[in-house]
């Protein structure tokens, strides 16, 4: 793919697509990387179309540039589509199909379309008067083509295995009734297995296959803060991974990483919103891969993980629609006010009980005083 073609693709698809860093978490409700513990309502269907990219001009690092050297404009681009559906109360499912993935190896090589990702979330389990919610997210990555190039640099590690993992979700909502009316905080912590033993990591110039010697696994974590306004949501995420079992030394991305991601969500109406976010790497540009593995960090000023990455995402609510959606909104508001009334009635019952106890205490004090007076008269 020529650089001109890449730029045209980016320009054409920016209004339509965004998001899909290989963090192992995609889910139904949440931010660009961190998931909320909330789930979709039963029968809700959401669609997301997304893109993220990183680009940098690679220049020669040495003192004397060879006469035949030409600077390289590196691109790392992903396109994905995501469908999320509310299966029942407290359960929803998400299917993501990555339509395009740059590999940046052996010329203009890319995976198109690439792999499927499937998430099943159990959540919206409230406690502490529903200010807190708990959830659990199960994730799998399903490879689609054994001939695809994996183990690509600029991206979190993968070797094309059937990957899977689990993530615990905790959310705090300042407004327990209407979550989008005040700020919220979300915590994710999970385990992910790349299941990569025996998968091809690299093909050398002689055509020999270099395979992974064992299964890599990692801890995944994320912390997010969201502040909603009438037209925009302002979000901030801190997220990353820490390997429990590092990938083989012939892997490009085998180091731990941490990113911070500020983002904004524009929500002009109920059924459509648009996300724009920027990943900023907090960890260093360490390279612990084998010296035998060709990589841009060896002869160009490029890191294993990008220093930044831009995300764009369009979000659509497909179901419910029209009158059904209006009835759903009315039902949600009805549930909200019914909860308020129940809480008011509960508070009123508590106040009534306190008044009853106060009256009984006063009556007991009067009776006790009368008994004391009678005892004093008898002693006389």
Q: Quick check: 86 and 39 in contact, CB under 8 A?
A: yes
CA nearest neighbour of 104 among 71, 151, 69, 158: 151
CA–CA gap between residue 207 and residue 272 (Å, rounded): 49
How much is the pLDDT for 69? Answer: 60
Check residue 302 and give its pLDDT: 75
**Whole-number pLDDT of residue 274:** 96
Distance CA 9, CA 18 (A): 13
Tokens 């005040």 -> residue: 182
Return the exposure string of 229-264: e unless at least 16 CB atoms fall within 10 Å of the residue's CB, then b.
Answer: eeeebebbbbbbbebeebbbebbbbbbebebebebe
pLDDT at position 7, please? Answer: 41
Can you give the pTM of this predicted structure? 0.79
- CA torsion 341→343→348→352, rounded to 10°? 140
pLDDT at 71: 66
* 224: CB partners within 8 A, 6+ apart: 30, 31, 33, 34, 185, 186, 235, 236, 237, 238, 239
d(CA 210, CA 188): 34
**pLDDT tens digit at each of 380 positions of the chain:** 444 444 443 333 333 333 334 444 577 899 999 999 999 999 999 999 999 999 887 665 556 666 666 667 788 899 999 999 999 999 999 999 999 998 876 667 789 999 999 999 999 999 988 899 999 999 999 999 888 889 988 899 999 999 999 999 999 999 888 888 899 999 999 999 999 999 999 888 788 889 999 899 999 999 999 999 999 999 999 999 999 999 999 999 999 999 999 999 999 998 999 999 999 999 998 888 888 887 766 556 678 899 999 999 999 999 987 544 444 555 566 666 666 666 666 666 777 777 877 887 887 788 788 778 877 777 76
């Amino acid at each position: 793919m020529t650089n001109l073609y890449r730029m045209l693709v980016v320009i054409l698809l920016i209004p339509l697509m965004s998001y899909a860093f290989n963090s192992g978490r995609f889910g139904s409700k949440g931010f660009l990387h961190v998931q909320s513990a909330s789930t979709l309502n039963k029968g809700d269907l959401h669609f997301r179309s997304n893109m993220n990219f990183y680009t940098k001009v690679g220049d020669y690092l040495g003192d004397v540039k060879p006469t035949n050297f030409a600077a390289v404009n590196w691109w790392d681009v992903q396109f994905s589509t995501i469908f999320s559906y509310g299966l029942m109360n407290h359960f929803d499912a998400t299917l993501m199909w990555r339509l395009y993935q740059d590999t940046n190896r052996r010329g203009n090589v890319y995976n198109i379309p690439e792999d499927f990702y499937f998430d099943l979330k159990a959540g919206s389990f409230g406690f502490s008067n529903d200010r807190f919610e708990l959830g659990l997210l199960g994730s799998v990555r399903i490879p689609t083509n054994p001939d695809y190039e994996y183990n690509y640099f600029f991206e979190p590690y993968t070797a094309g295995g059937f990957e899977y993992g689990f993530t615990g979700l905790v959310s705090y909502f300042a407004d327990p009734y209407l979550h989008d009316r005040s700020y919220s905080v979300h915590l994710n912590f999970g385990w992910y297995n790349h299941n990569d033993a025996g998968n091809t990591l690299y093909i050398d110039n002689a055509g020999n296959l270099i395979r992974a010697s064992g299964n890599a696994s990692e801890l995944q974590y994320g912390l997010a803060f969201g502040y909603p306004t009438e037209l925009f949501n302002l979000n901030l995420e801190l997220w990353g991974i820490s390997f429990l079992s590092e990938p083989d030394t012939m892997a490009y991305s085998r180091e731990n990483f941490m990113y911070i991601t500020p983002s904004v969500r524009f929500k002009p109406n109920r059924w459509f919103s648009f996300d724009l976010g920027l990943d900023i790497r907090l960890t260093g540009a360490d390279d612990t891969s084998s010296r035998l593995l060709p990589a841009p960090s060896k002869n160009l000023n490029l890191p294993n993980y990008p220093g930044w990455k831009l995300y764009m995402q369009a979000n659509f609510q497909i179901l419910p629609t029209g009158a059904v959606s209006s009835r759903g909104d009315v039902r949600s508001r009805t549930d909200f006010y019914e909860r308020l009334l129940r809480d008011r009635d509960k508070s009123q019952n508590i106040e009534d009980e306190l008044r009853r106890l106060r009256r009984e205490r006063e009556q007991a004090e009067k009776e006790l005083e009368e008994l004391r007076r009678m005892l004093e008269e008898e002693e006389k």
